Structure 1
């Protein structure tokens, strides 16, 4: 859960760098602080966030925080290499909010890795035994890895891979972990830029679903099998696996799972 701090300061450094994006594939990615997704920020309603964006890339970049209520004209403007800006906002509403580069073409900047999440806890958020975050993103490879993603493939919405947290199939090789009868919360954000997400954990039923700022399900006899999210939507699910085993995490739009949006929760 969020810390007791009411002011959160972060420097976000824009870098364009070479990075392994899948087994056997290294290409240019555009990052916040050298990683994609960028750092996860977390706070409470009423907290202030002071973000310093520094552009050390080779082209113009910018940032848009969905967690803030700000006029785009100043804080979301594109800054050139060597420039910086300060983006300050107060979190007025709970949610798992996307942030991303908003420089045109926005789809290409997001596909190249410039996205992340801000979690603003709802005031009634219960404690759980384990908590994870899964951010779906897409990659559109071209013939030249140094050029990053292929703009034409982005425009066609025809991804080479679909990822959780920036790398396809990574949680099959390094599963998430839990023990039987633990309550697990998974925060989920669909960063896009194009594809929907039908988030499902095989072998479980969600007894709590929180989607775009409100509870869809909490308590009672009902259950849910998916958390459906369009690009830029987010929420969380909770469930309690009662037996040891390997529970597959998927985007239940199965062709996307088969391109990398798949992992494992190992309960032992």
Structure 2
């Protein structure tokens, strides 16, 4: 791993005096356009000829990284990840059922998690988090899993399957250069996940081996709530109304001391603060949210100036919590958030973890609420 500072700093050292911002500015080697505002709420002075700082880069005072991560070098873009559902290849079995096939491979890969900060990740399909797999209730699923990495790995799916498909040592673990095929039925519907279950488990998860696993409900199986089920079924007119997003809360221990230095949604610290997520005011929003943070017992999601309905683990078609603005998830917990900005004025609306330390170390973003584009 390439050191980004000549000495090691723990995360609490970063918090002292806004060192995170200063350090990132020093080492990024890139333009520091959009310098954050100071805590007094006034923007940093611009050099002659420079544009004034953008409002979203002034959020949370000076506690924001400076510079930009190279998405091309990473091979993934956190903004594209929000809507990049991997639906696999669909075919028909002899009995008439649909077979959905995914191909997933392991690759060791150095990724940039903050400007100038590199992390030696273990990835599914070259990205962290791995691809957001999406299927439909009761389909037959086939996941062709190949290990091009340097360690034994698995794919453990949170769902219902046979013991031999559990993705643990002795049941789906493969060595470098090997291949395994997982097969099981897509059930129950909901917001699920997958992750490596090889030992030591904490190391494999922390290194980036996890991803969302969404099973859409089959409306024919839920006649009493068929309209709701159709709204979750990708490709239907009812679903097209929604602005759906995949978000995985994660963190990175860059000094490998069991304490995270950076926090994020979809890997890149402060990505959605610098590049706010564009949301049309009149269309509802649905977030598939999962917590894969290692080394911290919980993570959280707080929405500013608004409230949402929450479906814990997504296995119900009615909310498990109504009209809340904050939820807490332990590791591997997940759920669906639904809300709207229809009654709001356009503007930038913040969302973040409500552990202040997580927010200051990268887990903060903005929704850019706009009128519909004609």
Which category of TM-score, normalised to the shorter sequence, fits these structures? Answer: 0.7 to 0.9
Q: Is the 8 A contact 2:132 2:211 kept in 1?
A: yes
Is 1:67–1:118's contact at 8 Å kept on the other side of the alignment? no
Structure 2: runs of 5 or more not aligned: 1-84, 91-97, 220-227, 232-238
Superposed CA RMSD: 2.2
2:192 is aligned to 97
2:329 counterpart of 1:216: no
The residue matched to 2:204 in structure 1 has which SS? Answer: helix
Counterpart contact for 1:75–1:86, Cα < 8 Å: no
Q: Partner residue of 1:115?
A: 210
* Pairing 1:98-247 to 2, within 5 Å after superposition: 98-122=193-217, 123=219, 124-125=228-229, 126=231, 127=239, 128-142=241-255, 150=256, 152-153=257-258, 158-195=259-296, 196-206=298-308, 208-212=309-313, 213-214=315-316, 215-217=318-320, 223-241=323-341, 242-247=344-349
CA distance in 2, matches of 1:129, 1:114: 29
Q: Which runs of 4+ in 1 moved over 4 A?
A: 1-5, 72-75
8 Å Cα contact 1:14-1:32 kept in structure 2: yes
Of Structure 1 and Structure 2, the greater helix share is in 2
Residue 122 (structure 2) pairs with residue 30 (structure 1): yes
Structure 1 unpaired stretches of 5+: 143-149
Name the counterpart of 2:176: 81
Give 3-state SS (helix, strand or coil) of 2:111's partner: strand
Measured at CA, do residues 202 and 91 of structure 1 come closer, stay the same or move farther in structure 2, by a change above 3 Å? same
Normalised by the length of structure 2, the TM-score is: 0.63
**Greater Cα radius of gyration, structure 1 or 2:** 2
Q: What does the per-residue CA deviation read over 1:50-99, in whole Å, with 9 as the maximum and x for residues that have no partner?
A: 11111111121111111342315774332111111111111121121111
Normalized against structure 1, the TM-score is what?
Answer: 0.87
Structure having the higher strand fraction is 1
Q: 1:257 aligns to what SS in structure 2?
A: helix
Number of equivalences: 252
Q: C-alpha separation between the residues in 1 aligned to 2:269 and 2:118?
A: 13
Please say if residues 182 and 240 of structure 1, whose CA atoms lie closer than 8 Å, have aligned partners that are also in contact: yes
